[in-house]
């Protein structure tokens, strides 16, 4: 298997599909979803901007596509939505299913350096290089002499995926024209989720951790397009895991543009995401469709 169509469904004049390909970066099959808006289909199809959504812990390529209700807005704006899986699957690594916040379903959008994870947990390489190339090859609306280089891309995400959206944009300047996050793990070096993941995937050297921490990256001089971040104030993970105030302080000190919106009553789940996803798509469209 090199590329496989799992299923495709008509949706708001476009097509919501789910796919699998043999990943060289991961060394295993990887799954992802793609919503192609009406503008990318038919005889008058044209290249459209590509917006990656990185999901949170325990999620799959289907979670956002089913729960967020984003396709209606994406159809109107002419955005292709790409929803990668959150980690490699069926790795055979002992203990990879023992915890819900580490291992399978918890890729943390980085390339692991520690065994037994270094072989398959190479999410950063897959997300930033290999998956865009797969999209350019297999989706006609991205066709062209150098389709991958010509793709206009943005990235956003939720929780662990919000961490990934921020750090990938900061670590790969120029790759993404727009970036945003919903309830991101904003300073993972300072929270149990990040400490567990970084020690397991990257080892004990905290200098390596700092290269995957959004607040630390900004403090060290990394920059990205203006950030939009939404955070629910009733989020049970806010105080212990997310720390948006640390991202806010780092951005303020560094002059990194950030709009941080706090919302009373909203928790960490997809009711929160569905409530504000249209704002995020319009934030990206303003940059990607200009």
Confidence of residue 150 (pLDDT cuts 50, 70, 90): low
Provide the annotated active-site residues.
159, 235, 268
d(CA 120, CA 244): 30
Instruction: Give per-residue burial for 258-285: e unless 16+ CB within 10 Å, then b.
Output: bebeebeebbbbbebbebbbbebbebbb
- Give the mean pLDDT of 1-30: 96
Q: What is the domain range of residue 73?
A: 3-288
Q: Is the pLDDT of residue 1 over 70?
A: no
Q: Is the pLDDT of residue 282 over 80?
A: yes
pLDDT in tens, 55-107: 999 999 999 999 999 999 999 999 999 999 999 999 999 999 999 999 999 99
End-to-end CA distance of the chain: 38
Predicted pLDDT at 143 = 40
Tally of residues, the chain: 290
244 to each of 43, 107, 259, how far by Cα in Å?
A: 45, 21, 11
**CATH code of the domain containing 206:** 3.40.50.1820
pLDDT in tens, 127-149: 999 999 999 999 865 444 444 55
The residues facing 261 across adjacent strands are 230
Predicted pLDDT at 290 = 75
Q: Is the pLDDT of residue 46 over 60?
A: yes
Mean pLDDT of the chain: 95
Instruction: Give per-residue burial for 204-228: e unless 16+ CB within 10 Å, then b.
Output: eeeeebebbbbbbbbbeebebbebb
- Give the mean pLDDT of 30-43: 96
- Give the mean pLDDT of 214-222: 98
- Helix (H/G/I), strand (E/B), else coil: 31: strand
Q: Quote the percentage of the chain above a pLDDT of 70.
A: 96
- How many independent structural domains does the chain possess? 1
Assign 3-state DSSP to the chain and report helix, strand, coil percentages, each to 5. 40, 20, 40
- Give the mean pLDDT of 205-229: 98
- Could you tell me the pTM of the whole model? 0.96
d(CA 93, CA 13): 42
Residue 274: its H or E element:
helix 270-288
pLDDT in tens, 177-188: 999 999 999 999
Q: Among all chains, which residue has been given the structure tokens 């390489």?
A: 125
């Amino acid at each position: 298997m090199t590329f496989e169509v799992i299923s495709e469904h008509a949706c708001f004049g476009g097509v919501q599909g789910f796919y699998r390909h043999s990943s060289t970066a991961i060394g295993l099959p990887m799954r992802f979803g793609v919503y192609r808006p009406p503008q990318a289909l038919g005889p008058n199809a044209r290249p459209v901007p590509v917006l990656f959504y990185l999901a949170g812990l325990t999620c799959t390529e289907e979670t956002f596509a089913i729960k967020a209700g984003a396709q209606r807005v994406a159809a109107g704006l002419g955005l292709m939505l790409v929803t990668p899986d959150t980690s490699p699957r069926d790795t055979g690594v002992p203990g990879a299913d023992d915890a819900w916040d580490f291992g399978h379903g918890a890729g943390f959008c980085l390339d692991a350096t520690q065994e037994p994870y270094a072989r398959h947990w190479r999410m950063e390489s897959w997300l930033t290089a290999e998956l865009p190339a797969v999209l350019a090859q297999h989706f006609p609306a991205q066709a062209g002499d150098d389709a991958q280089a010509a793709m206009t891309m943005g990235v956003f995400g939720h929780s662990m995926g919000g961490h990934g959206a921020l750090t990938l944009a900061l670590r790969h300047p120029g790759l993404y024209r727009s970036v945003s996050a919903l309830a991101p793990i904003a300073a993972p070096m300072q929270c149990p989720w990040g400490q567990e993941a970084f020690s397991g995937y990257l080892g004990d050297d905290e200098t390596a951790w700092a290269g995957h921490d959004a607040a630390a990256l900004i403090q060290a001089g990394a920059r990205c397009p203006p950030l939009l971040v939404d955070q629910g104030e009733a989020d049970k993970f806010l105080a212990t895991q997310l720390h948006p105030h640390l991202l806010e302080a780092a951005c303020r000190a560094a002059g990194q543009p950030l709009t941080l919106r706090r919302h009373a009553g909203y928790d960490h789940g997809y009711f929160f995401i569905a409530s504000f996803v249209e704002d995020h798509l319009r934030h990206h469209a303003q940059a990607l469709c200009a």
